[in-house]
Structure 1
Amino acid sequence: MPPAKTDQLDLWAESGLNGDDQVMVDFLLPTGIYIQMEVPRESTIQHIKLLLWKEAQTYPLFSLLGEMEGHMFECVNQAAVHEELEDETRRLCDVRPFLPVLKLITRNCGRAERILDSKIGVLIGKGDAYEYSSHCTCDYVLYIRDCLLANESPHLTLVHCDVVKTMFEKEISTIGSVLARKTSNPPLPLPPKKRPPTVIQKGLYIQVRAGLFHGTELLCKPAVSSESSSRSEHVWNKTLEFDIAVCDLPRMARLCFAIYAVMDKVKKQRSTKNTHLNKYQTIPWVNTMVFDYRGQLKTGDIILHCWSSFPDELEEMLNPIGTIQTNPYTENATELHISFPEYSTQPVVFPAFDKGRGGKKFYIELKEIMERDPLSQLCENEKDLIWTLRYDCRENFPQSLPKLLLSVKWSKHEDMAQLQALLQIWPKLSPRDALELLDFNYPDQYVREFAVICLRDMSDDELLQYLLQLVQVLRYEPYYDCALSRFLLERAQSSRKIGHFLFWYLRSEMYMPAVSVHFALILEAYCRGCIPHIEVLKKQVEALNKLKAVSELIKLGTIKTKTKQAHLKEAMMTCLRQTGFIETLSDLQSPLNPNILLAGRCKYMDSKMKPLWIVYNNKLLGGDTVSIIFKNGDDLRQDMLTLQILRLMDLLWKEANLDLRIVPYGCLATGDHSGLIEVVSSADTIANIQKTSSNMAAAAAFNKDALLNWLKDKNSGDALDKAIEEFTLSCAGYCVATYVLGIGDRHSDNIMVRSTGQLFHIDFGHILGNFKSKFGIKRERVPFILTHDFIHVIQQGKTGNTEKFGNFRQYCEEAYLILRKNGNLFITLFALMLTAGLPELTSVKDIQYLKDSLALGKTDEEALKQFRQKFDEALRESWTTKVNWMAHIVAHPS
């Protein structure tokens, strides 16, 4: 459903900004009476109902209404969906109906349960908590919702084993029939104005391509339909056959489709360029599982609604890594009708594995293969070697399980049975090693269950460290009820802090159609298991909604003249002083850190997106000041990932007894292009420090004494020596971290220093080597920022202080070698985020940058030589950084 228009969406908040305390509302009564009256926009629904009841006494048929408690209001919300307002403690300005119309309806029984449903629905951002169940055609949503909420395993009655075995021994190679429109019983056509445009140019033909995949592995040659030249509906009635026996299909096999237009041979020959885009037109795609959630081979007719956006450079034009959910926006989606044949009168069920046996040999070549990074490709001979020596792998390289899994022939049932037997006796992996098994390349449910068993050894702090990735890999789960979902729910219910961040990681992506049902079910399950947490989270959601409304109004009303700006600021403060805003924004647990209780004031920053700067007192820590930035219009998920990795680097260095004083400040995406950022106290940007020390903006960047003098002003005596040591350690940490992660756009407003000496970087919009350029010329030529004014501080202002600089260089090299030892972990964490939709992390090629920067595949001596060359390059080319900083200061003087 498209969002409401901005002017209608902001009706309620705007009236508050303008000082309008009353709103004219139309009330529709079940007696057929219509009443129009003004009500306070800040009133609760319960109070409004009392006002209405008093007014209704003066109208006819009042006696037919009965008891007031037997009624509740209904409205049309901003998603154009009927919403019952069971929770009468909500304020009208928070409900914000699409139009100021409230309908009085008779309340059904089970009020307590309905109030809980209403609260959960509002909390997870979807109105009625049962919207997913009642509106979804798949009965699995209803089924698994009950399983998740009841925290019990689904019960499945299997067909008799003899029947199952007989079915799977049949050598059948036909998977399904593909129809664009069935000739019998066609679905109702869409109204002409809503039908998606189908424009097929003359000389183009439509085809369907289908492939069977296990993870990203193509199980057999794809099948292609015949060509159709129709200009509207396309009907093939074509059976697509795959060269694989049903008994060899892996449990997690998925069937991937792509529909595309092909040029005819004559037109193709006349074309001057035979490129991918020249040969094919727009490619709708869709995926589905071959087995359903019960392990039964699918049968019968299915309608799949395709997705239109298609990633580039995918094998066979198919998108196996894409979601198996069909497009929920059915009115504008291409429909693909397929039919899975009936193989028998009995369901074909994937059988339990028999335990296999293997021999034990040892080859020294195995060690070299197993020590490779996760991005390294295995040739067929190496895969055969690993599979042959699988028991040696178990004994000597248990952490190599991912490489063994990549060596399994998933199209052979015998190999799958052998693997299942091996998994029963495989040693537990460390949680860090087990994370890789949740990647898309390992879809087998037994493998993923094994991974979750290993994750159970995680402490709460360690789980929080990797929770961002664990939420993202839920996208790879084909069925809602899985070991990972249950694991996350169990840990969230046993730890309020884990529950807090699980809630926000899930809710922040509820706007994405491909995951909204799955994430909503988990959110609902968590809320019902932790009812006391609902009110706390609900207040956070309401606070963010109010901040977003204020932010939108500021952006809409911003005028550059100072007088108007002052007027707008006063209007904003008037809005924030209203009772509803004060109550919602006070005594609020911080979404960034639930251990902080907030109460404070707000201002907005003069930048493009008009972020709000909120200053709070932390009531739980003796009133210390806490500042938070609310951003509306920026995607913070890439910043979240980068800061998580910085936090991990800090942890790994500390585990090796190296504390580099990293400042991984808090950052949390809370919705579609909105979120919160922690403000680090007592800190200023390099740009501001330089500008305050110079009368000319152009010369500010070249004043090498500015930074050291600033630290001297903030510290004296022994405190200055400590501040310089803090600066030295933190500068080393961020030099290595920004080099390894390929962090770009490092101007002087993106690097800050605390008064205690800690240097830290902010704003991570460019990572993995995506450095900014202008007119095709790279603006950033250095591998990391190490300017002469930084060295001036490190050397305590003494040019000949080589000992201090030598210590700094030693810190950098030690830090780099520690990260290299954990290179596989970094690659795994980025790989698990590939389908998150981050702008600069879309394919394995992006992760290749990490492999190169960490020099994986080289010896420590070779890697250290490479890093030293980069270090010298950063020193040699630091003048280019100064030139860029000068240009930035001149362009941004204020």
Structure 2
Amino acid sequence: MPPGVCYGMQDVWEKGGREQVTLEFLLPTGIYLSFPVARNDTIGTIKKMVWKNARSEPLFSVLSDPDAYVFTCINLTAEREELEDESRRLCDVRPFMPVLRLVAREGDRVEKLINTQISLLIGKGLHEFDTQKNHEVNEFRAKMRSFCEENAQDRQRLPWHQWMKCNFPCDLEPFSMVVQSGKSCSVKKLLVNVKFEASELVVQAGLFHGGELLCKVVTSSEVSVCSDPVWDQKLVFDINLCDLPRMSRLCFTLYGVLEKTKKQRSTKKKNKKADCPLAWVNTMVFDYKDQLKTGEFLLSTWPSAPEGCCYERGGKILLIRLCEQSVRIHKTEGIGQVYTALTRCDPSRCCSQHLKLKEIVDNKNHTEFFEHEKELLWKLRLDVRAHYPESLSKLLLITKWNKHEDVAQMVCLLRTWRDLPPLHALELLDYTFPDPHVRSFTIRCLKKLGDEELFQYLLQLVQVLKYESYLDCDLTTFLLERALSNKKIGHFLFWHLRSEMHVASVSLRFGLILEAYCRGSIYHIKSLMKQVSTAREVILLISHSILQMDFSFTINVFYFGLSPDRCKFMDSKMKPLWLMYKNKWDHLDTVGIIFKNGDDLRQDMLTLQMIQLMDVLWKTEGLDLRMVPYGCLSTGNKTGLIEVVKNADTIANIQRNSSNNAATAAFNKDALLNWLKSKNPEDKLDQAIEEFTLSCAGYCVATYVLGIGDRHSDNIMIRENGQLFHIDFGHFLGNFKAKFGINRERVPFILTYDFVHVIQQGRTNNTKEAVCVLHRFRECCEQAYKILCRNGTLFVNLFALMRAAGLPELSCSKDIQYLKDSLALGRSEEEALKNFKVKFNEALRESWKTKVNWMMHTVAKDNR
């Protein structure tokens, strides 16, 4: 084969249309065929063409029926692949070389076909799971396959109305560090293969339970930097083996000690610390079978990761040796005796102690405790269970997990703890609560979630899978069970998992869950295959079209149902593709999707989820603020889909179209009102202004609470019916935009005078009517804010669970402090409302600063 032919093949796959490529075919008879086929031809079509051409070749009569044979090729990962699914197009197969071999089928054809389809769906060959040679992986796959396939069989036996509800659900709305007998058996050797700028290397090791350090961190001696540094020493931990909780994690951090720092600290050698963290890794002390890990382990380190995640596979390699000793952790001992002791506690309590206990549990922002508070909580733990069960998290936080007796008593309490409301139980999925009894209790509470509620919080539930220490866990089983019983939940579970398959730290876990779901939802595979194929095709087409500056080429090869005259590339850095499809239920209507390639949409998904939740909470209290939480879905590495809100335009466009000068367009206060008048003549105008007023109130409160940044006139839109809404949420939690070190966003939320001008219907500020409508608008904002404050803990918990996603602006606990402050956690409703009124007045008084920022944005955009 000529040099470069493989590169040429990839160019063919990245083109569109019905471009042809010449393929060579090797038949079972030893005959070679060569003829051109279209890149969009299916494997089944190509097989028919092969049979037609083979009729005139020798030995054709010895061939069996076409169904007895299957094509094989070398795929892009240089592996032999059987093309069992003959509905696939050649451009989807993307063979490494233009050669297909026809071979006799062997084994179970249906099984092979399903395995092939699952591999394509999850983006990882199932053989990769086999090559792990990992007992935990093998046992998990076998268990989940059995569970999901039995679930599928049970589903087929359902009455027809239940089967329909499951498969065609209505649209869901948001509603060893081992110590034994006091003697330590420790790491004997640490081997690290890394290169960096430092004079010496040092390793720190610690034992953790969730976020709690179980005993003092130990530090190795320093060794000189080399290609293979070695530590030959024992690291001794001050904790007894019997006190190690079941979910103990052994955490290593590699530091580089800079020469300059070393000299500076030479006089304080005892207090000398490593300066530059280079890599970290952690591993469970006990394996998935409750067995103490022993022997040598190769741990792949990570440069950084969200807090709480237990990742054992990464980049640089750390070799450790745990003592050669087999110890199995037993079930918590002494439960019966402990329970008896607890029930015999003296019920008499001091009134002052009860008042102090109530103060502690009522403080929503109270997560750190003084020692006397810890002692009181633990002393009155029976009272917490009886009277304040929703404060379980506080009791778990002060439990001494490095003391076997305390753990036994906590487990005893948990067994008789009454179920929490599901939204309160969500908090317990955080990494700070790793105990298996706690997590089982949490899932028991979450099982009470209806499908609508589960769908609302699915984004967080997928992310906290990263906090699970083992593959087989209650959360995974729970999600699979609910996904298999409701196709829409299953659909979004698939995409939430699939969108992060490129992340090495979770690809194994997520891939295994995806495999299990597919095996239990064979009927769903076909539509998912089409979606995955479409997403890949769009990315290739976008890349080619931008490169060739030929958008019409992209449209011509795209799927039927598209309205080419209404599609376009949008005017932003990543050139998102605006696609309009014909509505298959209403041929006079269209459905719009924005396809983005190059932006991480998970932060937009989270923000829109919160806005949707706010809308639900407001409506529950009888307040409809006409919000527009449009759809958004991340489908892969910096790729995803955004719903097009039809009949809407940006404030920037409306202002520009009403002015001849970009510099003054932002200051034209009549532009918005005139635009609404043009879209809503006569008696429709009052309703449009009502829609504007309510939606403006909702987004003022939402953007303030969430700390949404980068709010300029191109990120705020208005529908023709008057609804205002925000888009593009690349900055939140108070991460506001700055230019040359100067903060460009200086108001708590967007409430400009032209907004007020619309709300007041153009009346002057000193008229009675204008004062009344502005007062009503203010009251709407205040009522909406009070409702959110009453549910503040829920929002904080949901953001806390999303730390596992590793979003740049949400990666650790301190990132959530803005949200706690904006929701006034720990403060009375009166105090919270008083502060909000100050913010409201500030936004109104200093709206001119917003207008200046909009003007700068508009001028900068026009000068590109």
Q: How does 1:160-309 map to 2 (within 5 A)?
A: 171-174=181-184, 176-181=186-191, 198=195, 204-229=199-224, 231-263=226-258, 267-269=262-264, 279-281=274-276, 283-307=278-302, 309=303
- Aligned CA distance change for structure 1 residues 839 and 7 (closer, same or farther; 3 Å): farther
**In structure 1, C-alpha distance between the alignment counterparts of 2:141 and 2:736, rounded to whole Å:** 45
On the 8 A contact 2:365/2:825 being kept in 1, the answer is: no
Pairing 1:140–2:105 present: no
Question: Aligned with 1:669: secondary structure?
Answer: strand
522-531 vs 223-232, greater mean Cα deviation: 223-232
Pairing 1:310–2:310 present: no
Question: Aligned with 1:342: secondary structure?
Answer: coil
Q: Provide Cα deviations, 1:587-622, integer angstroms capped at 9, x if missing partner.
A: xxxxxxxxxxx9997433243222111112222356
User: Aligned to 2:466, which of 475, 488, 509?
Assistant: 475
User: Aligned to 2:478, which of 487, 508, 521?
Assistant: 487
Pairing 1:868–2:863 present: no
User: Aligned to 1:354, which of 335, 345, 351?
Assistant: 335
- Aligned CA distance change for structure 1 residues 687 and 486 (closer, same or farther; 3 Å): same
Report the CA distance between 1:368 and its aligned residue: 1.5
On the 8 A contact 1:22/1:39 being kept in 2, the answer is: yes
User: Aligned to 1:543, which of 528, 534, 538?
Assistant: 534
What is the match of residue 160 of structure 1? none
Question: Aligned with 2:424: secondary structure?
Answer: helix
Pairing 1:557–2:556 present: no
Q: Provide Cα deviations, 1:43-77, integer angstroms capped at 9, x if missing partner.
A: 11122233334545666777887664443233333
On the 8 A contact 1:180/1:338 being kept in 2, the answer is: yes
Q: Structure 2 unaligned segments of length 5 or more: list them.
A: 150-177
What is the match of residue 160 of structure 2? none
User: Aligned to 1:829, which of 787, 792, 798?
Assistant: 798
Q: How does 1:9-88 map to 2 (within 5 A)?
A: 11-16=11-16, 21-28=19-26, 35-55=33-53, 68-88=66-86
What is the match of residue 854 of structure 1? 823
**In structure 2, C-alpha distance between the alignment counterparts of 1:263 and 1:833, rounded to whole Å:** 35
What is the match of residue 688 of structure 2? 723
**In structure 2, C-alpha distance between the alignment counterparts of 1:220 and 1:599, rounded to whole Å:** 65
**In structure 2, C-alpha distance between the alignment counterparts of 1:717 and 1:273, rounded to whole Å:** 81
What is the match of residue 335 of structure 1? 317
On the 8 A contact 1:287/1:326 being kept in 2, the answer is: no
On the 8 A contact 1:373/1:857 being kept in 2, the answer is: yes
**In structure 1, C-alpha distance between the alignment counterparts of 2:28 and 2:53, rounded to whole Å:** 15
User: Aligned to 1:694, which of 649, 655, 659?
Assistant: 659
On the 8 A contact 2:366/2:826 being kept in 1, the answer is: no
Q: How does 1:486-505 map to 2 (within 5 A)?
A: 486-505=477-496
On the 8 A contact 1:600/1:616 being kept in 2, the answer is: no
Q: How does 1:364-383 map to 2 (within 5 A)?
A: 364-373=355-364, 376-383=367-374
Report the CA distance between 1:372 and its aligned residue: 2.3
On the 8 A contact 1:256/1:320 being kept in 2, the answer is: no
On the 8 A contact 1:600/1:614 being kept in 2, the answer is: no
**In structure 2, C-alpha distance between the alignment counterparts of 1:683 and 1:839, rounded to whole Å:** 30
Q: How does 1:94-113 map to 2 (within 5 A)?
A: 94-113=92-111
**In structure 1, C-alpha distance between the alignment counterparts of 2:618 and 2:530, rounded to whole Å:** 38
- Aligned CA distance change for structure 1 residues 418 and 699 (closer, same or farther; 3 Å): same
Question: Aligned with 2:525: secondary structure?
Answer: helix
Q: How does 1:369-448 map to 2 (within 5 A)?
A: 369-373=360-364, 376-448=367-439
**In structure 1, C-alpha distance between the alignment counterparts of 2:307 and 2:40, rounded to whole Å:** 50
Report the CA distance between 1:348 and its aligned residue: 4.6
- Aligned CA distance change for structure 1 residues 746 and 238 (closer, same or farther; 3 Å): same
**In structure 2, C-alpha distance between the alignment counterparts of 1:9 and 1:822, rounded to whole Å:** 57
Question: Aligned with 1:453: secondary structure?
Answer: helix
**In structure 1, C-alpha distance between the alignment counterparts of 2:29 and 2:331, rounded to whole Å:** 58
User: Aligned to 1:641, which of 584, 592, 606?
Assistant: 606
533-542 vs 359-368, greater mean Cα deviation: 359-368
- Aligned CA distance change for structure 1 residues 601 and 687 (closer, same or farther; 3 Å): closer
TM-score by length of 2: 0.89
Amino acid at match of 1:802: V
Identity %: 54
**In structure 1, C-alpha distance between the alignment counterparts of 2:301 and 2:661, rounded to whole Å:** 59
- Aligned CA distance change for structure 1 residues 292 and 645 (closer, same or farther; 3 Å): same
Question: Aligned with 1:833: secondary structure?
Answer: helix
**In structure 2, C-alpha distance between the alignment counterparts of 1:372 and 1:143, rounded to whole Å:** 44
On the 8 A contact 1:268/1:279 being kept in 2, the answer is: no
- Aligned CA distance change for structure 1 residues 693 and 370 (closer, same or farther; 3 Å): same
Question: Aligned with 1:97: secondary structure?
Answer: coil
Question: Aligned with 2:231: secondary structure?
Answer: coil
Report the CA distance between 1:347 and its aligned residue: 4.1
Aligned length in residues: 818
44-53 vs 377-386, greater mean Cα deviation: 44-53
- Aligned CA distance change for structure 1 residues 645 and 257 (closer, same or farther; 3 Å): same
Amino acid at match of 1:472: Q
- Aligned CA distance change for structure 1 residues 375 and 72 (closer, same or farther; 3 Å): farther
Report the CA distance between 1:109 and its aligned residue: 0.8
Q: How does 1:597-612 map to 2 (within 5 A)?
A: 602-612=567-577
On the 8 A contact 2:365/2:826 being kept in 1, the answer is: no
User: Aligned to 1:575, which of 528, 553, 557?
Assistant: 557
What is the match of residue 163 of structure 2? none
**In structure 2, C-alpha distance between the alignment counterparts of 1:266 and 1:13, rounded to whole Å:** 55
On the 8 A contact 1:686/1:752 being kept in 2, the answer is: yes
Question: Aligned with 2:205: secondary structure?
Answer: strand
- Aligned CA distance change for structure 1 residues 704 and 859 (closer, same or farther; 3 Å): same
What is the match of residue 775 of structure 1? 740
On the 8 A contact 1:296/1:349 being kept in 2, the answer is: no
Amino acid at match of 1:655: T
TM-score by length of 1: 0.86
User: Aligned to 2:447, which of 452, 456, 468?
Assistant: 456
Amino acid at match of 1:324: Y
- Aligned CA distance change for structure 1 residues 781 and 301 (closer, same or farther; 3 Å): same
Q: Structure 1 unaligned segments of length 5 or more: list them.
A: 154-167, 183-195, 312-318, 328-332, 559-567, 587-597
